């Protein structure tokens, strides 16, 4: 699996939606269930900066390619949050900083302990942590991509259980959802040392999402 970091840093741009006619949502608004899902995804996108914070406390920050990747990734994810907020704004739903801050505060001690936990675990695992981190990131990104094609467990550690169940049920229930989950699992298990992993399908089972 080759990744050209130089090319990525040169071509990384913020997502542009000025060519999209968002006014269409005034005439044909999205249903309530989709808006709740989009709200969840917007929170997850904005939350990337917290993942970045936690990961910069690990051996990953010493790898030039990985830290270059994380810098670009963090910036791109911010703009994904802004794009989703623009869609939500057309439905008179405001995603503002106070709300984001409130959802982070709700995490309480977890939010405060996460960087310490990551740092200790990363330090113990040592250089191999970089591979763990990148594999974990790939699994999250694949599930996010699949979510946007519309059916995913990204964000499930930061959102309320009730919201996670709603989003997974909304996007991934039924045979189509299972097929998409299998596709993500197949991509993950194609990485070195991860053969046979079925984390996405297992997550759906745990959440009780109908197959």
Q: Is 47 in the site for Fe ion (CB under 5 A)?
A: no
Question: Can you give the length of the chain in residues?
Answer: 211
CB of 117 to Fe ion, least distance (A): 24
CB of 122 to Fe ion, least distance (A): 23
50: nearest Cα among 3, 106, 8, 128: 106
Residue closer to Fe ion (CB basis): 80 or 170: 80
CB of 80 to Fe ion, least distance (A): 4
Say if residue 119 is exposed, middle or buried (CB neighbours under 10 Å; 0-12, 13-18, 19+).
Answer: middle
First to last CA, the chain: 31
**What is the rounded CA–CA span in Å between residue 194 and residue 116?**
26
Residue closer to Fe ion (CB basis): 122 or 155: 155
Residue with nearest beta carbon to Fe ion: 80
CB of 23 to Fe ion, least distance (A): 24
68: nearest Cα among 157, 152, 131, 6: 6
Interaction residues for Fe ion, span 75-134 (CB under 5 A): 77, 80
CB of 127 to Fe ion, least distance (A): 28
Binding-site string for Fe ion from residue 181 to residue 210, where x marks contact by CB under 5 A and - marks none: ------------------------------
Residue closer to Fe ion (CB basis): 14 or 127: 14
The two structure tokens encoding residue 42: 């917007």
Residue 189 to residues 1, 136, 185, 195: CA-CA distances in angstroms? 13, 12, 6, 4
**What is the rounded CA–CA span in Å between residue 153 and residue 117?**
21
Residue closer to Fe ion (CB basis): 72 or 93: 72
CB of 104 to Fe ion, least distance (A): 18
Under 8 Å between Cβ of 72 and 9: yes
Residue closer to Fe ion (CB basis): 124 or 149: 149
Determine the size of the site formed for Fe ion (CB under 5 A): 3
Q: Binding residues for Fe ion, per CB under 5 A?
A: 45, 77, 80
């Amino acid at each position: 699996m080759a990744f050209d970091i130089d090319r990525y840093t040169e071509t990384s741009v913020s997502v542009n939606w000025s060519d999209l006619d968002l006014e269409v949502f005034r005439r044909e608004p999205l249903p309530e269930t989709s808006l709740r899902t989009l709200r969840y995804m917007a929170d997850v996108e904005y939350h990337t900066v917290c993942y970045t914070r936690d990961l910069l406390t690990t051996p990953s920050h010493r790898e030039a390619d990985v830290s270059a990747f994380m810098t670009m990734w963090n910036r791109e994810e911010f703009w994904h949050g802004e794009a989703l907020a623009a869609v939500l704004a057309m439905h008179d739903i405001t995603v503002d900083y106070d709300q984001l801050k409130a959802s982070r505060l709700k995490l309480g001690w977890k939010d405060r302990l996460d960087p310490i936990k990551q740092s200790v675990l990363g330090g113990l695992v040592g250089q191999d942590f970089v591979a763990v981190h990148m594999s974990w990131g790939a699994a999250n990104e694949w599930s996010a991509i699949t979510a946007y094609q519309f059916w995913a467990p990204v964000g499930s550690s930061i959102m309320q259980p009730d919201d996670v169940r709603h989003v997974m049920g909304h996007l991934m229930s039924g045979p189509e959802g299972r097929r998409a989950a299998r596709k993500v699992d197949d991509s993950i298990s194609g990485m070195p040392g991860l053969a046979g992993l079925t984390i996405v399908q297992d997550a759906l089972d745990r959440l009780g999402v109908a197959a």
